[in-house]
Structure 1
Amino acid sequence: MTSPFRISAYQVAEWGQMTMCDAERRLLANALLDISNEWFVLVSESCIPIFDFNTTYEYFQNSSQSFVMVFDDPGPYGRGRYNYNMTPEVELEQWRKGSQWFEVDRDLGIEIIRDTRYYPKFKEFCRPHCYVDEHYFPTMLTIEAPQSLANRSVTWVDWSRGGAHPATFGRGDITEEFLRRVQTGRTCLYNNQNSTTCFLFARKFAPSALQPLLVLAPTVLGYG
């Protein structure tokens, strides 16, 4: 079952289809028209910022890399989705997987929207159950600009409950302890240094989470 959402009155994007990547490319293309925009972050309606604006801005400003999750999954949900018709543009050892929730700078944003080399291959040969939005950008950017990638996302999700989608959090889940754990519960590399500030956004939050989030935002998240 697909979950379509409208980008405009005439264009529909569907989960797992190339139309998802088309929508993301259109969003980037429009944002790039404003020359004052330096960084571009893709989040969903179920995401929340977990730090104040200044912290988030400085994190991107001072980073030497962009935050696109990229990893090589040798199993059936990674390399198992590869189609050998992707050669010679994409070889099996170049095939990557990642989250669609990314942050890129202008250079990578331009790289994404101007691509005509990899797009036709992914459109034709990465079809359900390939889930092109999990592979196209991670693979293409790894080939073209690997040094520009931190190989991780700045959007926190919880896959520990199992299933095809990450956990959704509602009113009963929102506590100060939970939010603090999301903010600093992991260690990562930031500019080649260990850091406990690994995420700037988190998902998925249900509408019922809004009220307790508003209560805790000023003291825990630093805004509101």
Structure 2
Amino acid sequence: MLDAERRLLANALLDASNERFVLLSESCIPLFDFPTVYDYLIGSALSFVSSFDDPRKAGRGRYSRRMHPTVTSARGLAVGIVSDRRYYPVFREHCRPPCYVDEHYLPTVVAKLAPGLNANRSVTWVDWSRGGSHPATYKRRDVSLRLMERMRSGSECVYSSNNNRTTASSCFLFARKFEASALGRLLLIADAAKRWNWH
């Protein structure tokens, strides 16, 4: 999976006009229209990768001691990830469950290469409240306008634009994890949202 992510970034970098990069899974949905997402990402001075030291089993408990000493307890960043020859081989060789390369490599590399350029939060809303190693998965019956409104504006965060820091109520641009069965209901909500001018 990480090889595929690095190839996607490498191909996107071939177009010099690409400035921001978003990696999403097939179970993610956008919470806003394209212009809103674009303005949010381009207007920020930071990258959005959730990277933090979690002392619990779900965090440090996934670290492999064989990764030591290489790994301890915007465009330039994308270039750094694609050209990385220091951290990538260590993760590829030693990151085994409960360490997952596709989940742990990017946050680690971002923290190492550009800690000051990271908002240290994700723009993808995920519900981990049920516990376990997988987030909640939403099926067709779970999808409602109320759920979408909670994902779109049910939290508060700091947003760093190119010239200031403000408190924002729109922290997430995408949401996961949605089963394919939810698509029909999501499209109905999106159609209704257009009629209500819901931005």
Corresponding residue number in structure 2 for 1:145: 114
Cα deviation digits, residues 147-177 of structure 1 (max 9, x gap)? 1111111111112233321112122222211
Work out which of the residue numbers 13, 27, 30 in structure 1 matches 2:8. 27
Any residues of structure 2 matched to 1:5-154 within 5 Å, and which? 20-92=1-73, 105-154=74-123
- Is the 8 Å Cα contact of residues 179 and 220 (structure 1) preserved in structure 2? no
In structure 1, the partner of 2:179 is: 206
Give the C-alpha shift of residue 143 in structure 1: 1.4
Q: For 1:51 and 1:201, locate their aligned partners in 2 and report how far apart those are by CA, in whole Å.
A: 8
Distance in 2, matches of 1:134 and 1:213, equals 26
Q: SS of the counterpart of 1:27?
A: helix
Unaligned runs of 5+ residues in structure 2 are none
What is the CA distance between 1:187 and its match in structure 2? 0.7
- Separation in structure 1 between the aligned mates of residue 147 and residue 98 of structure 2, nearest angstrom: 34
Q: Secondary structure at the match of 1:194?
A: strand
Distance 2:10 2:82 in 1: 7
Runs of 4+ in 1 over 4 A off after TM superposition: none
Aligned residue type for 1:197: S
Q: Name the SS for the 1:40 alignment partner.
A: coil
Deviation for aligned residue 1:33: 0.9
User: How many percent identity over aligned positions?
Assistant: 57
Distance of 2:113 and 2:12 partners within structure 1: 22
Amino acid in the other structure paired with 1:67: F
What amino acid maps onto 2:170 in structure 1? T
1:196 to 154, 169, 175: 169
Partner of 1:48, secondary structure, is: strand
RMSD: 1.7
For the residues of structure 2 that align with 1:211 and 1:112, how far apart are their CA atoms? 36
Say whether the 8 Å CA contact 1:188–1:198 is kept in structure 2: yes
Match of residue 7 from structure 1: none
Aligned to 1:177: 146
TM-score by length of 1: 0.80
Where 2:21 maps in the other structure, the secondary structure is strand
> Which moves more between the two structures, 204-213 or 53-62?
204-213
TM-score (norm 2): 0.89
